[in-house]
Amino acid sequence: MFMHNKRLQYTVRVAEPNPALASLLLEQFGGPDGELAAAMRYFTQGLAEDDPGRKDMLLDIATEELSHLEVIGSIVAMLNKGAKSNLSEASMAEADLYLSLNAGGNSHTQSLLYGGGPSLTNSSGVPWTAAYIDSRGDPTCDLRSNIAAESRAKIVYERLINISDDPGIKDALGFLMTREIAHQKSFEKALYSIKDNFPPGKLPGLAPYANLYVNTSQGEGDASGPWNDGEQWERLEDVEGNIALDGGDGQASISLGDQQMEDYAAMSGRLKSDPTLNPVTGADLGAGPGAGKLSDEDLGGAADMADAKAQAQAKSLL
């Protein structure tokens, strides 16, 4: 059961309205790394958690994330306060009102559609979706995802702090950013309190592949480090010469029944392409200068982009 305390977890002090900034702050209201996504991620994990310690932690943090949603939503509402009243009372000249609503981002959508209230969208106006919740029901997997989510949220808060010169907003965003650090520490402790937490799951890795580093991007820029070299790694440089890694022919195969095999042969024969044909296509029939080589002629092209622009301009003057 939830009960709402009318006091915010952190005091919101906004110096003046700024619809464009409000639009950007929505990233942490309804975005993939925002407070609602965090609350729902940890809340659903906590409901399914069997370990009493992790369950308590997840529900605590999930509930606090809802309070952070209230803080960021209150900042957005305050930043939109002037635009909301101006639009409601039509107190500005049409041109000035239009300019104020189109100050940046999707601030006009916030004003017209949501009346200045915080909408469950990201900063580009994309609606919040439960697809942001990436839980898998295994704590060693989910806690790592939570750690990453808190890290991403901290970075977004840093960027939002950098684009505001309002001291009160910077102060509140600094609080929210710092709570991401605290939550990450809690999740790290919870993860490493699980013995043998890596690799995730129950099944062990397969020995021939667990220590293999495949250098598939070769050439200038190749680099070595503890992530791909040293005692714990077996580097595979000759990738083409060692495919398939299992020693097989690297082809996909399946065993079909007699009727399936007959149907497959009939279908393949019916849909087989004829490499001896060179049919006239729609591109041939409708081609003009610049189409390049066709079935029966060469219509050329431009030498470079400057030539292409010159040819296009000349064509438009005809």
Which pLDDT belongs to residue 83? 62
Rounded Cα–Cα distance for residues 153 and 125 (Å):
18
Q: What's the pLDDT tens digit per position in 177-221?
A: 999 999 999 999 999 999 999 999 999 999 999 999 999 999 999
Which pLDDT belongs to residue 111? 53
Q: Which residues of the chain fall below pLDDT 50? A: 91-92, 95, 98
Domains of the chain: which residue ranges? 19-193
Distance in angstroms between the alpha carbons of the first and the last residue of the chain: 75
Helix (H, G, I), strand (E, B) or coil at 235: strand
Binding residues, by number, are 35, 56, 60, 65, 68, 150, 183, 215, 217, 219
**What token pair was written down for 22?**
């409000």
Superfamily covering domain 19-193: Ferritin, core subunit, four-helix bundle (1.20.1260.10)
Binding residues for Ca(2+), by number, are 56, 60, 215, 217, 219
Which pLDDT belongs to residue 295? 85
Which pLDDT belongs to residue 20? 86
Which pLDDT belongs to residue 87? 54
Which pLDDT belongs to residue 104? 56
Rounded Cα–Cα distance for residues 180 and 137 (Å):
22
The neighbouring-strand residues paired with 236 are 214
Binding residues for Mn(2+), by number, are 35, 65, 68, 150, 183
